[in-house]
Amino acid sequence: MRKEILSKLQVMFINELEHHPQSSLIDFYKLYMQSAFGPGHIINDENTARAYLAKELVSYQQYTSKFTKNTTNSYLENMKAVYREEHQGMISCPCVIFDCEIWIPLARYSTQLIADGIIPFEAFLGAFIESANLISEKISLFADLDKDIYIKYWKAMLPFFVEKKIKNFSEDSILIEQLFSENKYLVRHSYTYNEEYKPSYRIINKSLLSKYDHLIVEKYFIG
C-alpha cells in the first residue's frame, strides 16, 4: 500500500472528525466509499437526478459542520463570523464544500450553494452528472483500484478509528465486513449524522466547478 494514500486518508478522516464529531464508523466508511466511487452510484438517468435535486431543494435543510469550541480547524477559522453560531460548547457553520480527494479530485458540494445563488441549478446538476460520466468512462471503481486493495486500505485505517474512539466501531465494523463478503460497498449515513448535520450535498469533480471558487470564497470566507 502506498504511504501517501494512507496519509491522505488520515487527513481526510481527521477533517471529518473535526467537522462532524458525532460521526459513526459507518459515516467515515461512506466518505471513504465516496472518495472511490464518486457520484456514479446514485445516478440512474439525468431526469431522475434532476428530480431528486429539485425535491431536495424544496425541502432544503442546511448541511452543517459542528466543531468543538477549541478547534483550530482552518475551515472554521476562515469562515465569516456571520455564518458561525455557538451553542452548548459547539460552533456551527455551513459545510459548503468538503474534500474527499484521495484518488480523484472530488468534493461534497452542499446544495446550499444553489439555495444561496452561488452556483446555478443547471450548472450544479450538469457538473454532478458529468462527474459521474467521467468516472464511469475513465476511472471506474476497481479500474486502478481493485476491490482487494480498496478493502485493504480501509482495513489499514481501522487502528486510527480505534485510537480516536469512533462511535459504533464494533457494530459498524461487522456491518461493513458483511457488505464486503457480499461484494457490496454502498451505505447510508447514520441516523445520528443525518439528525445532527442535515447532509444535503452531491459528490462532484472539483475541476468542473472551479470557476465558482472565487464566489464561494467571497460569500462565506474571510479569504
145-192 pLDDT, tens digit each: 678 889 999 999 999 999 999 999 999 999 999 999 998 888 999 999
H helices, E strands: number in the chain: 11, 6
DSSP letter assigned to residue 182 = T
State the average pLDDT over residues 197-214: 96
What amino acid is encoded at 49 in this protein? A
Kindly state the cell numbers that stand for 170. 464494533
User: 3-class DSSP state for residue 66?
Assistant: strand
133 vs 100, which has greater pLDDT? 100
| Cα–Cα distance for residue pair 94/112, rounded to 1 Å | 8
pLDDT by residue (tens digit) across 11-27? 999 999 999 999 999 99
Cα–Cα distance for residue pair 20/172, rounded to 1 Å:
17
Question: What is the amino acid identity at position 18?
Answer: E
The per-residue DSSP string of 83-142 comes to G-EEETTEEEEE--EEE--SSS-EEEEETHHHHTTSS-HHHHHHHHHHHHHHIIIII-TT
The predicted model scores a pTM of 0.93
For residue 127 the three cell numbers come to 457538473
Give CA–CA dist 94/154, Å, rounded.
Answer: 28
Report the C-alpha gap between 89 and 145 in whole angstroms: 41
**pLDDT more than 90, % of the chain:** 76
d(CA 47, CA 189): 24
H or E element at residue 205: strand 201-205
